[in-house]
């Protein structure tokens, strides 16, 4: 049974935090799906990941191609996981189910701490997932480094 990790982004934007989390997930040997809520935003994120950091390369693709199942990292707006992901990263309020949390190795929910609606959506998702029996951790970068602020088992 996996866990949901909530990442409250306050010091760095998504495009700075996501590559680090993807590198860690790939380092654990996991295939990853990054689920967003808007296709245009996923295209933007795709471009940011390709331009990425000089010291690392994150092989990935956009869902909808003929090679989705071969992608180690797949960017999608759909609920399916055609690349056989063991880790799901939800961005921009994309929906995550308790079944996914329990089935996958890890689910990461990244949300913008400077957006009141995003914070409220993450709180609602925390309540929903934990009330349905999922283990969850809440991480904040408020102090300048990532710190675990809450955990529910």
Q: Residues 98-134: pLDDT tens digits?
A: 999 999 999 999 999 999 999 999 999 999 999 999 9
Coil, strand or helix at 149: strand
In CATH, the number for domain 3-152 is 3.40.50.10110
**pLDDT tens-digit series, residues 88-99:** 999 999 999 999
The percentage of residues in the chain with a pLDDT greater than 70, rounded to a whole number, is: 97
**pLDDT tens-digit series, residues 15-41:** 999 999 999 999 999 999 999 999 999
Task: Specify whether the CB–CB gap between 17 and 56 falls below 8 A.
Answer: no
Q: Which helix (H) or strand (E) holds 108?
A: strand 106-112
Q: What is the CA radius of gyration of the chain?
A: 14
φ, ψ (nearest 5 deg) of residue 62: -95, 140
The residue ranges of every structural domain in the chain are 3-152
* Mean pLDDT of the chain, nearest integer: 94
* Between residues 53 and 97, the one the model is more confident about: 97
pTM: 0.94
Distance, in Å, from the CA atom of 147 to the CA atom of 145, rounded to the nearest integer, reads 6
Tell me which residue has tokens 């010091």.
Answer: 11
């Amino acid at each position: 049974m996996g866990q949901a990790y909530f990442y409250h982004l306050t010091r760095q934007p998504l495009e700075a935090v996501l590559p680090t989390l993807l590198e860690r997930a790939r380092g654990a040997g996991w295939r990853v799906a990054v689920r967003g809520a808007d296709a245009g935003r996923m295209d933007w994120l795709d471009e940011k990941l390709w331009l990425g950091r000089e010291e690392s390369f994150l092989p990935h693709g956009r869902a909808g191609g003929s090679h989705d199942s071969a992608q180690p990292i797949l960017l999608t707006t759909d609920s399916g996981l055609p690349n056989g992901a063991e880790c799901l990263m939800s961005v921009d309020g994309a929906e995550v189910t308790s079944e996914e949390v329990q089935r996958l190795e890890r689910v990461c929910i990244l949300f913008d701490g400077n957006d009141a609606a995003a914070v409220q959506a993450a709180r609602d998702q925390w309540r929903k997932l934990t009330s349905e029996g999922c283990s969850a951790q809440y991480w904040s970068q408020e102090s300048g480094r990532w710190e675990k602020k809450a955990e529910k088992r």
